[in-house]
């Protein structure tokens, strides 16, 4: 009864799919596929999550004692994203196949009353696949965004854990401003500071190196911070003196009766002149938004 018997319909669908595979891939879809493969979300599971976690850890500061726990947590969350992605992708493919079959059945019914050419069948199926392809694009886009958010949170969490606690920062800042004329602690001083702060000597060295760079780039901003530590040191010295322990009071750049701020024009200038020996010229008033964004505590 039909102009197109059943054996003809199935090869038509296969030929359409084969023709679609030969069509040039959308560049955006290709980028999404490459990212999903790189992150271990698409394709066979071959430790992609572990590789991504290791790469994220390396970018955030190298290996540490708690890396295995962090990698495990990262892999677990990435595995959830992978599972959701494949579940939704399976639903998408199933819906696409079911709808294609439904349209083919309609065409089969219509072929009983009017002639339907193979080109018409190909055109209809191609339209269906294009519609569903946009849904596939949205699925892959949202999955990539979820992976990027996960990676960003993973890196941010590591950065926060790398920050020193408030007490350690206070100890390091007090030493820095009390030795502003020569803020280069000796190895013995570094070891002592490391013990007080509960960090490594290498971390102490890195902190002072970064602090000196931030200071010379933004000396105006650090004037206020220097005043705060000068006042705290002066108050400490005054309290000790009041209790009759002046001889045991910590040495300070200024005496208890002096101004509550360091003489930045002297000690600061000395430090700046030493730093200028490498040919760089710095100005204390050089304060801008781009510099402030680089200054941290």
**What tens digit of pLDDT does each residue of 33-70 get?**
888 888 888 877 544 444 555 555 554 444 444 556 66
Shared-domain flag, residues 158 and 187: no
Overall pTM > 0.85: no
Domain span including residue 43: 6-162
Residues 215, 124: one domain?
no
Of 215, 217, 190, 213, which Cα lies nearest the Cα of 267?
A: 215
**Total domain count for the chain?**
2
Last residue of a domain, one of 134, 162, 190: 162
Question: Are 144 and 181 within one domain?
Answer: no
> Do residues 145 and 170 share a domain?
no
Q: Same domain for 157 and 188? A: no
| Residue 227: inside a domain | yes
What pLDDT does residue 161 have? Answer: 55
The phi-psi region of residue 43 (left if phi > 0; otherwise alpha if psi is between -120 and 50; otherwise beta) is: left
Of residues 243 and 82, more confidently modeled: 82
Q: Give 145-192 as a DSSP string.
A: HHHHHHHHHHHHHHHHHHSPPHHHHHHHHHHHHHTTTS----HHHHHH
Asked if 28 and 149 sit in the same domain, the reply is: yes
| Residue 173 and residue 28 in one domain | no
On whether both 264 and 172 belong to a single domain, the answer is yes
Q: Percent of the chain at pLDDT above 70? A: 57
pLDDT value of residue 88: 92
The confidence score (pLDDT) of residue 157 equals 64
What pLDDT digit, counting tens, does each position of 133-183 carry?
Answer: 888 888 999 999 988 888 888 776 666 556 678 899 999 999 998 888 888
Examine the fold and report which residue of 128, 162, 196 is the final residue of a domain before the chain moves on: 162
Count CB-CB contacts under 10 A for residue 229.
21
Average pLDDT over all residues of the chain: 70
235 versus 283: which is more confidently predicted? 235
Instruction: Please report the pLDDT score of residue 238 as a whole number.
Output: 61
């Amino acid at each position: 009864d039909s102009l197109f018997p059943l054996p003809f319909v199935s090869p038509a669908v296969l030929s359409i799919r084969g023709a679609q595979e030969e069509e040039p891939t959308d560049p955006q879809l290709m980028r999404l596929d490459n990212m999903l493969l790189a992150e271990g979300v698409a394709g066979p599971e071959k430790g992609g999550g572990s590789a991504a976690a290791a790469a994220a850890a390396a970018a955030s500061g190298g290996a540490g004692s708690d890396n295995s726990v962090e990698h495990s947590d990262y892999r677990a969350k990435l595995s959830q994203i992978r599972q959701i992605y494949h579940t939704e992708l399976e639903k998408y493919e199933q819906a696409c196949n079911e709808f294609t079959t439904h349209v083919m059945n309609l065409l089969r019914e219509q072929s009983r009353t009017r002639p339907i050419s193979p080109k018409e069948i190909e055109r209809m199926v191609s339209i269906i696949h294009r519609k569903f392809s946009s849904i596939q694009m949205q699925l892959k886009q949202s999955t990539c965004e979820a992976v990027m958010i996960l990676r960003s949170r993973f890196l941010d969490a590591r950065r926060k854990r790398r920050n020193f606690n408030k007490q350690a920062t206070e100890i390091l800042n007090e030493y820095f401003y009390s030795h502003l004329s020569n803020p280069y602690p000796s190895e013995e001083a570094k070891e002592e500071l490391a013990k007080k702060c509960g960090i490594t000597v290498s971390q102490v060295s890195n902190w002072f190196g970064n602090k000196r760079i931030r200071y010379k780039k933004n000396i105006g901003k650090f004037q206020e911070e220097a005043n705060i530590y000068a006042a705290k040191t002066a108050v400490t010295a005054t309290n000790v003196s009041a209790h009759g322990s002046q001889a045991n009071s910590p040495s300070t750049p200024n005496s208890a009766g002096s101004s509550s701020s360091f003489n930045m024009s002297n000690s600061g200038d000395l430090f700046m002149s030493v730093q200028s020996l490498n040919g760089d010229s710095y100005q204390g008033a050089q304060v801008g938004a781009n510099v402030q964004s680089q200054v941290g505590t």
